[in-house]
Amino acid sequence: MCGIVGYVGEKQAQDVVIEGLRRLEYRGYDSAGVALVADGTLATEKRAGKLANLEKAIADHPLPPATTGIGHTRWATHGAPNDRNAHPHPGADRRVALVHNGIIENFAELRAELETGGHLLLSETDTEVAAHLLEVEVESGADLTQAMLAVVRRLEGAFTLVAVDAQDPSRVVAARRNSPLVVGIGEGENFLGSDVSAFIEHTREALELGQDQVVTITRAGVSVVGFDGTPAVGRRYHVDWDLSAAEKDGHDWFMRKEIYEQPRAVADSLLGRRTPEGHLHLDEMRLSDQELRDVDKIIIIACGTSFYAGMVAKYALEHWTRVPVEVELASEFRYRDPILDYSTLVVAISQSGETADTLQAIRHARTQRSKVLAICNTNGSTIPRESDAVIYTHAGPEIGVASTKGFLTQLVACYLLALYLAQVKGTRYGDEIDQVMAQLEEMPGHIEQVLAAGQTVYELAREHVDTRAVLFLGRHAGYPVALEGALKLKELAYIHAEGFAAGELKHGPIALVEDGLPVFCVVPPQGRDQLRDKMVSGIQEVRARGARTICLVEEGDDAITPYADVVIRLPKVPVLLQPLVAVVPLQLFACELATVMGHDVDQPRNLAKSVTVE
């Protein structure tokens, strides 16, 4: 989830691009760079770190005047966040410069092809491959638009590409496949941006692009074609948001925006996970197959929301790999003298990669000769650097303190780890793994379906503005969902909320139930080990004592209706994958309830995004 800006017009491109990057810095702050077309050459500058580092470099070494340029603020995926991997990336002869958002799944094969042909690639990124391919096309006589069409037909994955040609200052060309890009329409100037905040200070007229389209902007106008070269038409609209809302895609909170980004985030987390032969492939798996076969115990360590993702992972790992799994709070891990040795795999889940408790826990594990695998959203952070292997979640920046898309993408990473271990250990056949991967690849659509019914959840939240306590019940993989739902209410609405395993009700928690108490019940899908029937018993128990039951139930399960005061429908998915859809209404409920209560949803009191002290 990077920020991209493109400009052609009469103004100084450097000023327009830098200003646009400042508006987009929330989309990525690992590095930033610009490329300008000036007198038949490329003038570029890029720096690791925040945009201020780039601005200082340009102040120290000014770039020449130019009216055509592109810029990028990066959220690292392939390659560490350093100067070399920062965008824009030039072609071999520095005729073409290109910026990129997304993941090119087949970049390894394309890179090998280029290197065989004598190309020297200087970065670790997938982006540089596209820059070299594009330059090959323009040097063979194609204009930049034709070159882009030729290149995108060879790329697999999700991407936005924006490029300039030093020998053609009249245009900027971009391509879009499953990654955001919008056109700003001006007078004698036109703009490109990851979202409208990139150019809203200059124009409020925008053009929405469809999938698999290439757009060319010049001073005179905008033209759009499909990847097959046939003319296409974008949807033109007027932006009536202010700048703050534009940064949030029209939402009132970054958190709400991030909830609605979850289908895309889950899809991105699944990109590039299979080899051309169909085998699972993980980001930085520096552990050999034999080392993984030797693993006879897994310990998951995490904090907060990541801990609940780990609890879901336990069900998947044990079911698919038949390896025993423990889930530990990272803050408690070292202090109980855990039993660790070379055959233990410690899985550390941390969105930031800097969580102090988790970092100290993995350092302790490594002193005991255990292998450590990190699940993380931040390329180049400390925990991945100190681990033996990494699965990056590719969620992009998460600005809201309360994690949403971070949680879902951590779940995806945990499922991928479980399937990968099953593949290596031979505990699941290839067709079984393919079946689960196909089910995972359907999840973005299922999450979209849940979000489309969000208004019902919002109305429910507004009915509970005076509520001071809420309970959440779940069984099996629904139990961590109940815990996460309760945590979101604590974080955002500042009310008493508890999550319980439904079978534990009669062992004490049922004493909390009183007349009118809202109880969210995550009902397992039908047909799995009587789980659903046991859950129905718990629902009957609390309803008989006056609770208001709000039941999250899969489509078609109408037998639950007599026991539910409110029904929230979920798509039909396997029980192990149900957390990916079941948690979404709970996120929406907490966000809306906090909003109507007048709280700051993005920055709840007493909390920080990353806990970097023990």
Neighbours of 525 (CB within 10 A): 21
Backbone phi, then psi, for 502, in 5-degree steps? -60, -35
Task: Identify the three-state secondary structure at position 298.
Answer: strand
- Quickly name the fold that domain 259-441 has: Rossmann fold (3.40.50)
Q: Which of 2, 303, 551, 591 is catalytic?
A: 2
Neighbours of 515 (CB within 10 A): 8
Residue 2 annotated in active site: yes
Q: What is the pTM of this model?
A: 0.82
Whether 448-596 and 3-238 are alike in CATH topology: the answer is no
Residue range 3-238 in CATH 3.60.20.10: yes
Q: Given strand 389-392, what is the order of strands in its sheet?
A: 284-285, 389-392, 371-376, 344-350, 297-302, 325-329
pLDDT, averaged per 10 consecutive residues of the chain (614 residues), comes to 92 96 83 94 94 94 96 86 93 95 90 94 93 96 96 93 97 92 95 90 90 95 95 86 75 94 94 86 86 96 96 97 96 89 95 86 92 88 89 86 95 97 95 95 97 96 95 95 97 95 86 91 83 86 90 91 93 96 98 97 79 52
- CATH code, 448-596: 3.40.50.10490
Q: Which of 50, 534, 572, 609 is catalytic?
A: 609
In total, the chain counts a number of residues equal to 614
Tokens representing residue 116 in the block: 């065989």
Sign (positive or negative) of CA dihedral 495, 501, 505, 509: negative
Tokens representing residue 475 in the block: 């069984």
Picking from 491, 456, 497, the residue whose alpha carbon sits closest to that of residue 599 is 491
Q: What is the pLDDT of residue 211?
A: 87
Tokens representing residue 485 in the block: 């739902």
Residue 521 annotated in active site: no
- Crossing angle of helices 51-60/13-24, nearest 10°? 160
Q: What is the pLDDT of residue 612?
A: 47
Task: Identify the three-state secondary structure at position 237.
Answer: strand
Tokens representing residue 557 in the block: 């399960």
Sign (positive or negative) of CA dihedral 152, 153, 156, 157: positive
Query: Where are the domains positioned within the chain?
Result: 3-238, 259-441, 448-596
Q: Tell me if 362 sits within 8 A of 335, measured CB to CB.
A: no
Query: Among all chains, which residue has been given the structure tokens 């891990």?
Result: 333
Euclidean distance between CA atoms 326 and 556, whole angstroms: 35
